[in-house]
């Protein structure tokens, strides 16, 4: 009996000795790695936008406190407001798509993803059209530079979001998604990113067009 205990103890000691590095990771109820990855990425993007907002308020408060925007520049607030409604509406459609696939509703998934893509493309089209007719360029002083930098940065994020939604739409029509979380991460992750894009535009819109 004593020899058996010693043998077991020696085996455990050998196993412990053979194990190198940190203890094994246990998932338990922790957040999915893919979702955590997109959240960390969004955190880094928030920092990027924060740097541009810091530059914007420095130019507005310190450099040109009395002439902002410069004389002769009128921003199309109404058009930008309509565009804001378009983009915010897309948050509801992407949420509808995710809830639909959670309930195994594939037609609802396709409808939600399709509408989200169309609304996002409409927003980007209106923004490009605004650039064409706005009457100033990035070379026209500090205001022109920071205006196109902030709105262009956001527009680039919308474009990336549309790429993600394109892949999600293709996969939805091929029947790749299901009600289990691991089977609809391809909808949830682009949805998280798209909500970030929508919220960030609200901040950009209020900062540049309203305040």
| pLDDT tens by residue, 123-148 | 999 999 999 999 888 888 889 999 99
Where in the sequence is the domain holding 49, given as residue range(s)?
A: 32-210
Tokens 């309203």 found at? 210
Cα–Cα distance for residue pair 116/168, rounded to 1 Å: 11
Q: How remote is the C-alpha of 92 from its chain's centroid?
A: 15
Could you say which residues of the chain have pLDDT below 70? 1-30, 181
What total number of domains does the chain contain? 1
Residues near 109 by beta carbon (within 8 Å), at least 6 away in sequence: 97, 100, 101, 172, 177, 187
In-domain check, residue 124: yes
Residue 183 inside a domain? The answer is yes
Is residue 117 a contact partner of residue 162, using CB atoms and an 8 Å limit?
A: yes
- Residue owning tokens 């992407």: 94
204 part of a folded domain:
yes
- The reported pLDDT for the residue numbered 1 is 47
Dump pLDDT digits (tens) for 185-206: 899 999 999 999 999 999 999 9
pLDDT at residue 6 in the model: 45
Predicted local confidence at residue 184, as pLDDT = 84
**What CATH number is given to the structural domain containing 136?**
1.20.120.80
Write down the pLDDT at residue 180. Answer: 81
What is residue 12's predicted lDDT score, i.e. its pLDDT?
A: 47
Domain membership of residue 48 (yes or no) is yes
Q: Look at residue 9 and tell me if it is in a domain.
A: no
Residue 104 zone, left/alpha/beta (φ > 0; ψ -120 to 50; rest): left
27 domain residue, yes or no: no
DSSP conformation letters of the chain: -HHHHHHHHHHHHHHHHH--SSPPP--TTPPPHHHHHHHHHHHHHHHHHHHHHHHHHHIIIII-SSSSSPTT----HHHHHHHHHHHHHHHHHHHHHHHHHHTT-HHHHHHHHHHHHHHHHHHHHHHHHHHHHSS--TTSHHHHHHHHHHHHHHHHHHHHHHHHHHHHHHHHHTT---SSGGGSHHHHHHHHHHHHHHHHHHHHHIIIII-
- Residue 20 domain-assigned? no
Within a domain: residue 164? yes
């Amino acid at each position: 009996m004593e020899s058996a205990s010693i043998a077991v103890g020696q085996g455990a000691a050998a196993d412990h000795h053979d194990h190198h590095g940190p203890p094994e990771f246990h998932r338990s109820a922790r957040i999915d790695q893919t979702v955590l990855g997109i959240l960390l990425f969004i955190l880094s993007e928030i920092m990027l936008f924060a740097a541009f907002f810091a530059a914007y308020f420095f130019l507005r408060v310190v450099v040109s406190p009395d002439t902002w925007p410069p004389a002769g520049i009128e921003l199309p607030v109404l058009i930008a407001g309509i565009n804001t409604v378009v983009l915010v509406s897309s948050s509801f459609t992407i949420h509808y798509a995710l809830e639909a696939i959670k309930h195994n509703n594939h037609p609802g998934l396709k409808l939600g993803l399709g509408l989200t893509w169309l609304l996002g493309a409409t927003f980007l089209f209106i923004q490009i059209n605004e650039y064409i007719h706005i009457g100033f360029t990035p070379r026209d002083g500090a205001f022109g530079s920071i205006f196109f930098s902030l709105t262009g940065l956001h527009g680039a994020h919308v474009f990336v979001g549309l790429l993600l939604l394109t892949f999600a739409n293709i996969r939805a029509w091929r029947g790749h998604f299901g009600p289990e979380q691991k089977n609809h991460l391809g909808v949830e992750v682009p949805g998280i990113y798209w909500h970030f894009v929508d919220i960030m535009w609200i901040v950009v819109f209020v900062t540049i067009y309203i305040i």
